[in-house]
Amino acid sequence: MPAVPPPAEPGPPRPASSPVTADDLQLTVRRAVDALRPAPADGWGRMAGTLEWDCWETVEHLADDLFSYAVYADLPGRPARPPGAGTASRAPERVSPS
């Protein structure tokens, strides 16, 4: 398995109450892609650690969250956190690449 390249350097730390920015999302997506790129194709159906989801469902859930944050970040006059932030729900059906 090829080595994962080091992540891009983050900017200076911000207070925990700071809103998520477009730069935050871009850095998060870049790091996720870098970390997941070397994953073997046959590993996506395996359970994701101690979670009830497999690796594919877990990454799909994270991608949905990041997409929601990206859409939300572009809304004018938005509060610091999107409605429902911090809650998790299981997708009603699985969509896989196969």
Q: Residue 65 falls within a domain, yes or no?
A: yes
Q: Residue 64 falls within a domain, yes or no?
A: yes
What is 5-55 written as a DSSP string? PPPPPP-S---TTSPP-HHHHHHHHHHHHHHHTTS-GGGTTSB-TTSSSBH
Helix axis angle, 55-73 to 22-36, nearest 10°: 160
Is residue 6's pLDDT more than 70? no
Higher pLDDT, 74 or 22: 22
Higher pLDDT, 1 or 98: 98
Q: Please identify which residue in the block is written with the tokens 């994962």.
A: 4
Q: Residue 87 falls within a domain, yes or no?
A: no
Range(s) of the domain holding residue 68 = 41-75
Q: Residue 1 falls within a domain, yes or no?
A: no
C-beta of residue 88 within 8 angstroms of C-beta of residue 61: yes
Q: Residue 8 falls within a domain, yes or no?
A: no
Q: Residue 34 falls within a domain, yes or no?
A: no
- The domain tally of the chain equals 1
List pLDDT tens digits, range 11-60: 666 666 677 777 888 888 899 999 999 999 999 999 999 989 899 999 99
